[in-house]
């Protein structure tokens, strides 16, 4: 076999996930091994190189067929130079990841942040396949995102593009402070954390809701209660969907992407949530910026990171 | 001489402006002739071709040196196919401008809307020279704009990208309806029209302001009064700057451009306005998305359209 393959690496605090993809984005093979952050960045880098070589050896492919290795990592990065300036989870401090791994692997290595990489995965080989312009949201603990224009991730001047959770979208009168210091960020209402906070507030206020009987409320509890007809829970989910839809409206006039892709734990609420997002979007952008624009769920799940990391080699 | 040149055409309702640019964006020569909309689209197309050929003939260059002809036009366009679906000013209705002119000129022709083209002009050869990612605002009758990523204009799925004036930015409680039908668009407060409206409202309300003695208030009157210390006028200008700065904050987390370029009539207010925009921006985005980001005035003025049109040939 002489066709080329790309390798993607998704570095988490506990495990490193590695995958082989075809040049078309098909995930052919995956492997997961411990990160061993406690042993320091040299060992973590060794592990990355080891797992990457191992997965290819164990596959039907050879190392010669590897076009390059892409890496997704959480932290503050110098993307062009592939330097991890700071990664809190990994205890990385100015680690020249790209340079280290290019030496170890003797292949082209590209590094980008985990949110951008997951967005690229969906855009390249997931719910955005075949689409050149899309915007991805991940509704998890926070609200992450990635903007894809002409098939490529927009990184921004300081790598801060795609920080969609920090769009200020909640009006001052009902805004609360975000972890970033701003008031009214999208993340304060449309993340799992935001939904849980609103539910706890409702319970504390004494609102009549089935959530009063739930210990340690999770976002899923609120969504399930809303689906079951709990009005207080329904209002919370509607609020999360409303501000998300409103932010989509802003994106529509700024970038007019063909498709919005929404993933992350909260998105598992499914059509119940998506219908409300679409309804809010409809009211939040001029008709021409909405025409033909789709709002769809992400489809790669946890593979988005490793697929997108591999995609960096092709889409950079 | 054998070096290549590019020709830009800026089609207005009264006149067609044509310019020759070097491949580096230097405007070498311009010409302006009547559009003659009243004679119909065939004559307008003939005029465009005539002026384009004429300007090259009159210059030190030959038609063989022309790499291509770019055209900026106001209206609803099918950009990839260069079809003007509707241009109210020009009475164009499904005119295949690109095809017609490619036949007449025997050169590559690209068509794009006037706002995108003006933004590209500034980005390529004006206040954004040397910068790959920037966002341009034009504060005129409305608020127009253009988003430049990797040196190219983002057009969007239906050509609706860069409609920055229709970002919903004013909170519901103080929002008024925009011409587009939405409530609270940036254009309702940060355009000349918005400034004039706020001034007239203040006068009608009986606010103590020197503007009460001005007949037919223009945006410049409001800005001049604000500079002279009129508190009511100052509040209006601050409000226009505040919401603009806030929208810049949104752009900073979505795209993190290196530079914001602000042009159009209202921007002539100069540093008085820019200081207030910068102050509002500072409060409207996380510090990392602001670091090193500049907010600067446009420098090409009315030439931005013709330069940017020429730039389409190089930056597409």
Confirm or reject contact between A151 and chain B (CB < 8 A): no
Host domain of residue A229: 132-298
Residue B86 lies in a domain: yes
Across the interface, whether the CB atoms of A251 and B256 are under 8 A apart is answered no
Residues of A in contact with B76 (CB under 8 A): 288
The token duo for B175 is: 């929002």
Domain count, chain B: 2
CB count within 10 Å of CB B1 equals 8
Residue B259 lies in a domain: yes
For residue A278, the distance in angstroms to the closest alpha carbon of chain B comes to 17
Across the interface, whether the CB atoms of B250 and A293 are under 8 A apart is answered no
- Kindly state whether residues B74 and B153 are assigned to the same domain: no
Across the interface, whether the CB atoms of B167 and A254 are under 8 A apart is answered yes
- Kindly state whether residues A173 and A221 are assigned to the same domain: yes
Residue-wise pLDDT tens digits, A257-296:
999 999 999 999 999 999 999 999 999 999 989 999 999 9
Residues of A in contact with B286 (CB under 8 A): 160, 163, 166, 180-182
Residues of B in contact with A253 (CB under 8 A): 160-161, 163-164, 166-167
pLDDT of A255 over the 90 cut: yes
For residue B290, the distance in angstroms to the closest alpha carbon of chain A comes to 9
Residue A79 lies in a domain: yes
Residue A198 lies in a domain: yes
Answer for the pair A228, A105: CB distance below 8 angstroms, yes or no: no
Q: What number is the average pLDDT over the span A235-247?
A: 98
* Short-list A147, A162, A196, A161, CA closest to A176: A196
Q: What number is the average pLDDT over the span A286-315?
A: 96
Answer for the pair B182, B195: CB distance below 8 angstroms, yes or no: no
Q: Which residues have a Cβ under 8 Å from the Cβ of B169 and sit 6 or more positions away?
A: B184, B185, B186, B189, B243, B246, B247, B250
- Kindly state whether residues A105 and A138 are assigned to the same domain: no
- Kindly state whether residues B71 and B102 are assigned to the same domain: yes
Confirm or reject contact between B99 and chain A (CB < 8 A): no
pLDDT band at residue A316, thresholds of 50, 70 and 90? confident
Across the interface, whether the CB atoms of A166 and B251 are under 8 A apart is answered no
Residue-wise pLDDT tens digits, A181-205:
899 999 999 999 999 999 999 999 9
Residue-wise pLDDT tens digits, A147-179:
999 999 999 998 899 999 999 999 988 999 998
- Kindly state whether residues A139 and A278 are assigned to the same domain: yes
The token duo for A129 is: 């396949």
Residue A138 lies in a domain: yes
For residue A301, the distance in angstroms to the closest alpha carbon of chain B comes to 23
Residue-wise pLDDT tens digits, B102-150:
999 999 999 999 999 999 999 999 999 999 999 999 999 999 999 999 9
pLDDT in tens, chain B (316 residues): 579 999 999 999 999 999 999 999 999 999 999 999 999 999 999 999 999 999 999 999 999 999 999 999 998 899 999 999 999 889 999 999 999 999 999 999 999 999 999 999 999 999 999 999 999 999 999 999 999 999 999 999 998 999 999 999 999 889 999 988 899 999 999 999 999 999 999 999 999 999 999 999 999 999 999 999 999 999 999 999 999 999 999 999 999 999 999 999 999 999 999 999 999 999 999 998 999 999 999 999 999 999 999 999 999 8
DSSP, res A168: B
Residues of B in contact with A76 (CB under 8 A): 288
Residue B244 lies in a domain: yes
Confirm or reject contact between A181 and chain B (CB < 8 A): yes
| Average pLDDT of chain B, as a whole number | 96
Residue B25 lies in a domain: yes
Indicate which CATH number applies to the domain containing B87.
Answer: 3.30.420.40
Q: What pLDDT does A278 receive?
A: 98
- Kindly state whether residues A87 and A37 are assigned to the same domain: yes
- Kindly state whether residues A280 and A309 are assigned to the same domain: no
Reported ipTM: the value is 0.93
Report the distance separating Cα B217 and Cα B197, nearest Å: 9
Q: What pLDDT does B316 receive?
A: 84
- Kindly state whether residues A43 and A166 are assigned to the same domain: no
Best residue in B115, B160, B187 to probe A by mutation, most A CBs within 10 Å? Answer: B160
- Kindly state whether residues B168 and B191 are assigned to the same domain: yes
- Kindly state whether residues A294 and A307 are assigned to the same domain: no
Confirm or reject contact between A147 and chain B (CB < 8 A): yes
- Kindly state whether residues A246 and A283 are assigned to the same domain: yes
Q: What pLDDT does A260 receive?
A: 98
Residue B127 lies in a domain: no
Across the interface, whether the CB atoms of A254 and B251 are under 8 A apart is answered yes
Residues of A in contact with B255 (CB under 8 A): 147, 154, 156, 161, 254
Nearest CB to A163; choose among B152, B155, B253: B253
- Kindly state whether residues B53 and B159 are assigned to the same domain: no
Nearest CB to B258; choose among A152, A157, A172: A157
Across the interface, whether the CB atoms of A256 and B158 are under 8 A apart is answered yes
């Amino acid at each position: 076999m002489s066709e080329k393959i790309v390798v993607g690496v998704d570095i988490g605090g506990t495990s490193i996930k590695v995958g082989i993809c075809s040049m078309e984005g098909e995930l052919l093979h995956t492997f997961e091994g411990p990160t061993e952050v406690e042993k320091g960045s040299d060992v973590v880098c060794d592990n990355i190189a080891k797992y990457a070589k191992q997965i290819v050896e164990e596959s039907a492919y050879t190392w010669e067929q590897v076009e390059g290795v892409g890496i997704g990592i959480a932290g503050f990065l110098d993307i062009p130079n592939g330097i991890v300036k700071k990664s809190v989870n990994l205890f990385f401090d100015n680690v020249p990841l790209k340079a280290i791994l290019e030496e170890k692997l003797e292949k082209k290595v590209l590094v980008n942040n985990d949110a951008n990489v997951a967005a690229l995965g969906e855009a390249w080989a997931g719910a955005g396949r075949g689409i050149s312009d899309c915007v991805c949201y991940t509704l998890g603990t926070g609200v992450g995102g990635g903007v894809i224009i002409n098939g490529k991730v927009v990184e921004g001047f300081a790598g801060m593009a795609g920080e969609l959770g920090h769009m200020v979208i909640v009006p001052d009168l009902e805004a609360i402070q975000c972890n970033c210091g701003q008031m009214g960020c999208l993340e304060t209402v449309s993340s799992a954390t935001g939904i849980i906070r609103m539910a706890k507030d409702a319970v504390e206020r004494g609102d009549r809701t089935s959530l009063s009987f739930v210990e340690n409320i999770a976002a899923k509890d609120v969504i399930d209660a809303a689906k079951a007809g709990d009005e207080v829970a329904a209002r919370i989910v509607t609020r999360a969907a409303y501000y998300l839809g409103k932010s989509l409206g802003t994106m529509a006039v700024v970038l007019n992407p063909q498709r919005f892709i929404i993933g992350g734990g909260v998105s598992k609420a499914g059509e119940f949530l998506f219908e409300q997002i679409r309804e809010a979007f409809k009211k939040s952008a001029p008709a021409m910026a909405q025409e033909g624009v789709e709002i769809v769920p992400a489809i790669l799940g946890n593979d988005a990171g490793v697929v997108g990391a591999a995609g960096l080699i092709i889409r950079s």
